[in-house]
């Protein structure tokens, strides 16, 4: 049975560049086709309830460009890529300052790099 790999990464910027951004991602590492992928991102720089910010999930297949999957705003409003909307959920845990991505019914084609990113409105 083939397993899907997931590369997790730490996204940082040098001190003084775009403030001090520190986002940590983690997840199971491997999920089987047809299962649900769950990945969490903790922001250690800004409260996820701070007005004017949003957190996006982006993925990049090997050798291809970035694909925006969806985002969640400081107030909990979510927006999704139309092509993934039926299989994607983005949520937040304000007590832990974390945002999470769930992607249902994953396929082997979705063995890609997943990123979380913070943006200002």
- Output the pLDDT for position 7: 34
Give residue 61's pLDDT.
Answer: 86
**pLDDT value of position 11:** 37
pLDDT of residue 10: 34
Q: Which CATH superfamily is 4-120 part of?
A: Immunoglobulins (2.60.40.10)
Give the model's pLDDT for residue 31.
Answer: 82
Is the pTM above the cut of 0.95?
A: no
Taking only the tens of pLDDT, the chain with its 121 residues reads 333 333 333 333 333 333 445 666 666 667 888 999 999 999 988 999 999 999 999 999 888 999 999 999 999 999 999 999 999 999 999 999 999 999 999 998 888 888 999 998 7
Return the domain boundaries, the chain.
4-120
Q: CA dihedral in degrees (76, 77, 80, 85; nearest 10)? A: 90
> HSE of 15 in the Cβ direction (CA atoms, 13 Å)?
0
| Residue 112: predicted pLDDT | 87
Nearest to 57 by CA among 85, 28, 16: 85
* Cβ–Cβ under 8 Å, residues 58 and 115: yes
């Amino acid at each position: 049975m083939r397993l899907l790999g997931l590369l997790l990464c730490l996204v940082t910027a040098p001190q003084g560049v775009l403030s001090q951004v520190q986002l940590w991602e983690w997840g199971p590492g491997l999920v089987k086709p047809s299962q649900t992928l769950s990945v969490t991102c903790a922001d250690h720089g800004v409260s996820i309830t701070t007005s004017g910010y949003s957190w996006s999930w982006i993925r990049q297949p090997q050798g291809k460009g970035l694909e925006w999957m969806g985002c969640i705003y400081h107030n909990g409003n979510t927006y999704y890529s139309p092509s993934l909307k039926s299989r994607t959920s983005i949520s937040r845990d304000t007590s832990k300052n974390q945002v999470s991505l769930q992607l249902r019914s994953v396929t082997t084609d979705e063995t890609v790099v997943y990123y979380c990113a913070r943006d200002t409105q």
